[in-house]
Amino acid sequence: METTVDYDVNQAALDFIKQSPKSLLIDGQWVPAVSGKTFAPLNPATAEVLTHVALADKEDIDLAVQAARRAFEHPSWAGIGPHERERFLGRIADLMETHAEELATIETLNNGMPLAVSRWLVAEAAKVFRYYSGWPTKIQGNTNPIDPTGFAYTLREPLGVCGAIIPWNGPLFAASWKIAPAIACGNTVVIKPSELTPLSLLRLGELLLEAGLPAGVVNIVPGQGSGAGNALVEHPDVNKIAFTGSTAIGKQILQASATTLKKVTLELGGKSPTIIFPDADLNKAIAAAAMGFTQGSGQGCVCGTRVFIHESIYEEVAARIVQIVKKLILGPGLDPATQIGPITNAKQFQKIKDYIAIGMEEGCTLAAGGSQAGTEGYFIQPTVFTHVTNGMRLTQEEIFGPVGVLISFQDEADAVFQSNDVQYGLSASVWTKDISRAHRVARALQAGSVWVNTIFEMDAIFPFGGYKQSGLGREMGEEAITAYTQVKSVVVRY
């Protein structure tokens, strides 16, 4: 690991983080937790405490849900037209762009990801608000055929209070996927960031108020999953839960939501394939494959953690991926030289080290990395295992770390079979210049997103979500408008 060098750090971000303890945003006010408890998010590059944050629990969730319900019915929100909602969303996007460097710095300090990645994700998050700022005036019902004695039409209405629960790997981006379509449709929101990474969302909360969003439309309540998270899922006055996180907790949330029959969307884990055919542009394919499992230290649901390489080019491609991975520069996310930041938290750090040990036990060949790096913070060397088969724990289970496995395949059918032979189905990256093969494989893959000759294409313009155990429902695009509304049929007899 490189040692720290001198670089400028955005002062507004440092000033924001210094204000301590931070409060919950409930009903347009910054308030302490009812219990008075706080917790201390860390900088994963140093494992040092950044600041203190009010810890929401059941009582705070109840207050936030009550505020969201009042806001949902209040004339300042329920009584405004779609043009007004468009203006709010546009102002939020403007403010995120104005404060992009500050938001990105806060994200990097708390999550660890390199500043370049944070900048990209903040820009994408602002784009999600920008995209949904165009929707409110286009949310329409239909007139339906009926006999001449009457008239039938549909109204597309908001759901009410939407609970959002997001993880620590890309907080602002994940939050934008939920807040933007929810409020575009006229809902109100109670959002619980991860207890590990609440800071960027608390700054977003200030910007939401600056944008003039009425009190209670968005409430931000950092807390533990077992406390605040569970209370939100079980609350009888919450109409929908949108969750991003582990498949295991997603299943628990679906079960817990059943008692009050909430609408549920789940964005869960992945074990995504990157498939390299012999006719691919190998320079691009190899660069993308290496980035696929190392970007964000592999802590992304869409990471391309299983790389399938045609047997005729396996040795060459594997050697070149290993070569790239070995040269990646580890360091604190704020250092402009850094390509790979720390793991976001101690628990995840340990989990990755355990999986590397499992890979060794399973007899895979360790071709790069394999160890923790440095003496402070949670750094793990980007790691590559070669001569791996698809049936191992290393290949079947989500590690959520910078660990790639390189697997060979015989032909197209074998590549598709192995790619699909996993419980997950979130995304896939396919590398070939054969246009027929590209479309054939895209259809055959069981994944919610297929990227041909590219990777990590996520845009508010089109839907995103999982096949199989990678999720339930879709976010983004027009699909999210459907997911945050319900349809009423009205029949009038003359």
Contact set with ligand NAI (CB under 6 A): 165-169, 192, 194-195, 224-226, 229-230, 233, 244-246, 249, 252-253, 268-269, 301, 348, 351, 398, 400
CA 344 to CA 43: how far, in whole Å? Answer: 8
Shortest reach from residue 113's CB to ligand NAI, in Å: 13
DSSP 228: I
Nearer to ligand NAI, 60 or 102 (CB): 60
- Is 97 tagged catalytic? no
250 Cβ contact partners less than 8 Å away, ≥ 6 residues apart: 243, 266, 268, 471, 472
Shortest reach from residue 165's CB to ligand NAI, in Å: 5
- Is 364 tagged catalytic? no
Shortest reach from residue 351's CB to ligand NAI, in Å: 5
Nearer to ligand NAI, 469 or 485 (CB): 469
CA 353 to CA 180: how far, in whole Å? Answer: 37
Nearer to ligand NAI, 168 or 308 (CB): 168
Runs of H (alpha helix) within 268-424: 282-294, 314-327, 346-361, 393-396, 412-420
Shortest reach from residue 190's CB to ligand NAI, in Å: 12
Shortest reach from residue 166's CB to ligand NAI, in Å: 6
Q: Of 411, 155, 179, 157, whose CA–CA distance to 308 is shortest?
A: 411
Nearer to ligand NAI, 225 or 332 (CB): 225
Q: Tokens 């003039």, residue?
A: 212
In the complex, which residue's CB is closest to ligand NAI?
Answer: 225
Shortest reach from residue 470's CB to ligand NAI, in Å: 8
Nearer to ligand NAI, 51 or 272 (CB): 272
CA 273 to CA 359: how far, in whole Å? Answer: 18
Shortest reach from residue 10's CB to ligand NAI, in Å: 26
Nearer to ligand NAI, 93 or 190 (CB): 190
Q: Tokens 């409110």, residue?
A: 136
Cβ neighbourhood burial of 361 (10 Å; 0-12, 13-18, 19+) = exposed
H-helix or E-strand containing 42?
Answer: strand 42-43
Nearer to ligand NAI, 17 or 268 (CB): 268
Of 267, 303, 398, 475, catalytic: 267
Residue 264 to residues 26, 151, 261, 475: CA-CA distances in angstroms?
Answer: 23, 32, 9, 11
Whether cis (ω within 30° of 0) applies to the bond prior to 21 is yes
Of 162, 301, 303, 364, catalytic: 301
CA 7 to CA 136: how far, in whole Å? Answer: 43
**Residue 60 near residue 30 (C-beta atoms within 8 A):** no
Q: Which residues are identified as catalytic?
A: 267, 301
